[in-house]
Chains A and B, each alone.
Chain A
Amino acid sequence: MNISTDIGVWVGALFAIAIYSILYKDNLAYSVVESIFIGATTGHAIVVGVQTFKSTAWTPLVGGKLLFVVPLIFGALLYTRYFPSVSWLNRWPLALMMGTSAGVAMRGAIESQVVAQVSATFVNLLDINKFLIFLGTVLSLTYFFLTFQIKGKASLLPKIGRYFMMAAFGAAFGNTVMGRISAAIGRFQFIFVKWLGLGS
């Protein structure tokens, strides 16, 4: 056994153990590390935000792009929520963000999630796998058909569609489980190999 002498490795390992201690029961070590983590992460987000602000807003503004005053004013208006008499002013920047995001998301959704998916579905349908993909897509879509209730023998279509979706969810679940387990293995390797020096 060759225990690490690096203070950073000690901190990382002890913090990881404190996090895993929640699996036994809620305790002081877990909540302390959790608070430190939230503080550091929030601080990091602010530091990154300030750097981004400098490069995307401040530098162009100082360089002569006076139109950048608009987002600065709108950004400042977000803070009016702390002053009840003028708190309604924070609707303006929110409207800017929501309107733009809706427009941008709409373009993205139409292009990548509708047109691209539909055109990728109707390809080489004589191939059994491609045909199954086509069938899965169409039948899954019938499950979301809510204009009127599908009755009789046709009600079998959304049912089969649901089976396709359950297969997809099972696959996604299995994938997620394995992803998380590999993250846990990575942490255990850090604790046992890098910190305690076992098996190195």
Chain B
Amino acid sequence: MHLAKRTIPVAIAFVCGIIQVVDYFFKIESVNTWAQEIRSWVSIVAIFALGLGAVNVLRVHLKKVRQAPSESLNSILLLITFLVTISIGLTAGQSSKPYKFIFDYIIVPTGSAIFSLLAFYIGTAAYRAFRAKNAEAAILLVTGCIVMLGKVPLGEKIIPFAPKWTTWIMEVLNVGGQRGVMIAGAIGFVAVSLRIIIGLERRTYGVD
């Protein structure tokens, strides 16, 4: 049982990971074929994982409806919309009129309204973040304000050099700072990936 519960998952992660790495460093045709095959397997398993998410949504909201039907209007609406979207999508197809209605007039406008909500919340976050308490916060404040002003025509009217400075900040200061963060993050990422492949980070796939 130990073999099936602990050793096989570690072996699977090792073999799958090492094939991808070997395929990258040594251009061996048979390894490349297997690496591609495994990548396509993963995308198929990921679809099953998506289904798992749907099953969880169903379980959570059905439980809520069963426990307190009078207080679960939101769960009922969620379940109805969920099932209606799936049945239309699978029977009539994604190019059918009712499905397009759901996509164009419910998913897209509501999604972008939710996305844009952050424009309002970010204002309060900016108030807290942009208080020049020290040198770092002052730099954040100045670059943030210049970039915001440089992106709109009104900003150029207030500070004529704002667009030019925005370009310089984005192409020089931003690149320098971000590049350091990116390289440091990537080195950490490589370390974690190696730990997963060689079986030191087993918790990521449920083995203690």
Contacts and interface: CB of A to CB of B under 8 A. Distances in A.
B161 interface: no
Interface residues of A, number: 114
A92 B140 contact: no
Interface in A89-110: 90-107, 109-110
Contacts of B21: 103, 106-107
Contacts of B4: 88
A118 B183 contact: yes
A166 B196 contact: no
B45 A97 contact: yes
A19 interface: yes
* Residue of A50, A76, A181 with most partner-chain B CB within 10 A: A181
B107 A40 contact: yes
Contacts of A100: 16-17, 20, 38-39, 41-42
A176 B122 contact: yes
B140 A169 contact: yes
Given A42-B57, A165-B177, A36 B78 contact: yes
Contact of B118 (A74, A163, A180): A180
Interface string A163-200: 11111111111111110110110110010000000000
B204 interface: yes
Most buried by A among B13, B37, B101, B143: B13
Interface in B138-183: 139-148, 151-152, 168-183
A180 B115 contact: yes
A99 B57 contact: no
B176 A133 contact: yes
The secondary-structure label for the interface of chain B is helix
A34 B113 CA distance: 11
B126 A37 contact: no
Contacts of A111: 24
B171 A67 contact: no
Interface in B11-43: 12-21, 24, 37-43
Interface residues of B, number: 122
A53 B47 CA distance: 7
B140 A170 contact: yes
Nearest to A164: B177
Given A91-B206, A170-B140, A170-B141, A109 B186 contact: yes
Interface of A: 8-9, 11-13, 15-16, 19-20, 22-23, 31-53, 56-57, 67-68, 70-72, 74-76, 78-79, 81-82, 88, 90-107, 109-111, 113-114, 117-118, 120-121, 129, 132-141, 143-144, 161-178, 180-181, 183-184, 186-187, 190
Interface of B: 4-5, 8-10, 12-21, 24, 37-55, 57, 73-75, 77-86, 89-90, 94, 99, 101-120, 122, 126, 129, 135-137, 139-148, 151-152, 168-187, 189-190, 192-194, 196-197, 204-207
Given A12-B104, A75-B48, A79-B48, 18 more contacts: A12-B108, A31-B74, A40-B81, A42-B85, A43-B82, A46-B86, A46-B89, A47-B85, A103-B197, A104-B39, A107-B20, A109-B193, A118-B183, A140-B180, A168-B143, A178-B147, A184-B120, A190-B109
Which 7 residue pairs of A and B lie closest in terms of their CB atoms, listed nearest first? A136-B176, A140-B180, A103-B20, A43-B85, A168-B177, A39-B81, A75-B48
